[in-house]
């Protein structure tokens, strides 16, 4: 079965610890909460896209272990087709997440596990799922050369390509040239361009830099301030939305990217798609967890009104 959206990325079991602060080395703190949830940027974005109304194929590697079963259960519940591979010689990915109990802000350490072994040859074997899609999305938690190959296959097939350059990393111009849309946050945009990004004006400067290096268009996410879109001709600042008090910011960017893919796959214009994605991100931060916080299409549309 062909799917409108193909997403390459990792699954990681998120072990989230709430505390007043991080411990110093050698120190033990009592936490104020713990949760085990499905995570990993690619998997989160796949869940977000599916809940936002998209038909999704997810490409990754998982281990034959407890966390691998959590991954499959998560995808089955969201209606996602797993088009990757299960392996017996590496564990499923996992992540440590510190959540500030006062603000909901987070810091994360990711161990990709089996997904860290994804190679361009694996991408070739999954190529049919990419070519059949309308939108292809990837990030940088799996090896960069795998993401690069996925973008190349999608571009050759005329599939719209989205790169969420997270975690922040330096990228070659040849890879940016395969991207119809790049979606960094402020920190990632700064890492990619050397331009300090602290609002719409500096975000536009960073976007212009990425376009000179080959990107087709750039959408810099600005947290509560929304998103700045620039394609070399058109610049639009799409204001953020509020859906209530912030509980936890884990997965907000993934909610944005997944919902954006779903909106573009069903033919929304870029401004409407970015507004839809903003609303998804706004809803996600009102709930704890990563994948569990992803909103349904009906909830997103209700917030937009």
Strand (E) or helix (H) holding 124: helix 120-125
- From 65, 254, 269, 275, the catalytic residue: 254
Q: Is the peptide bond before 167 cis (omega within 30 degrees of 0)?
A: yes
Count helices and strands in the chain by DSSP H and E runs? 11, 15
Distance (Å, whole) CA 172 – CA 86:
30
Please state, in angstroms and rounded to a whole number, the distance separating the CA atoms of residues 51 and 80. Answer: 10
Inter-residue contact 43 to 9 (CB < 8 Å): yes
Contact between 149 and 123 (Cβ < 8 Å): yes
Active site residue 254: yes
Q: Are 131 and 104 in contact (CB under 8 A)?
A: no
> What string of DSSP letters covers 23-92?
PPTT-----SEEEEEEE-HHHHHHHHHHHTT--EEEE-EEESSHHHHHHHHHHHHHT-EE-SEEESSSPE
Mutual angle of helices 270-284 and 297-304, in 10-degree steps: 110
Q: Which two tokens stand for residue 273?
A: 């798609």
- CA 7, 12, 13, 19 torsion: positive or negative? negative
Please compute, for residue 274, the number of CA atoms within 13 A of its CA located in the half-sphere on the CB side: 25
Which H or E element spans position 230?
A: strand 227-230
List the catalytic residues.
Answer: 254
């Amino acid at each position: 079965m062909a799917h409108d959206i193909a997403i390459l990325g990792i699954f990681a079991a998120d072990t989230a610890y709430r505390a007043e602060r991080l411990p110093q080395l050698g120190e033990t703190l009592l936490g104020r909460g713990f949760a085990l949830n499905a995570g990993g940027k690619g998997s989160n974005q796949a869940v977000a896209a599916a809940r936002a109304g998209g038909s999704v194929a997810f490409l990754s590697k998982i281990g034959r272990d407890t966390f691998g079963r959590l991954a499959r259960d998560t995808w089955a519940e969201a209606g996602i087709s797993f088009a990757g591979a299960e392996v017996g010689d590496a564990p499923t990915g996992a992540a440590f997440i510190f959540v500030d109990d006062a603000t909901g802000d987070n810091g994360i350490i990711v161990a990709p596990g089996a997904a860290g072994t994804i190679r361009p040859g694996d991408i070739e074997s999954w190529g049919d799922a990419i070519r059949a899609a309308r939108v292809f999305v990837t990030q940088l938690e799996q090896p960069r050369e795998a993401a690069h190959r996925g973008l190349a296959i999608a571009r050759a097939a005329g599939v719209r390509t989205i790169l969420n350059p997270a975690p922040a990393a330096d990228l070659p111009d040849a890879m940016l040239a395969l991207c119809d849309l790049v979606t960094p946050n402020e920190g990632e945009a700064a890492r990619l361009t050397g331009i300090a990004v602290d609002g719409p004006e500096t975000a536009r400067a960073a976007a212009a830099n990425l376009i000179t290096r080959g990107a087709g268009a750039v959408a810099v996410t600005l947290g509560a301030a929304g998103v700045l879109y620039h394609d070399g001709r058109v610049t639009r600042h799409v204001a953020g939305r509020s859906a209530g008090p912030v509980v936890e910011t884990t997965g907000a960017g993934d909610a944005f990217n997944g919902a954006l893919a779903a909106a573009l796959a069903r033919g929304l214009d870029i401004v409407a798609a970015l507004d839809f994605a903003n609303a998804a991100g706004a809803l996600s931060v009102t709930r704890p967890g990563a994948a569990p916080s992803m909103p349904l299409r009906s909830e997103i549309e209700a917030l937009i009104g």
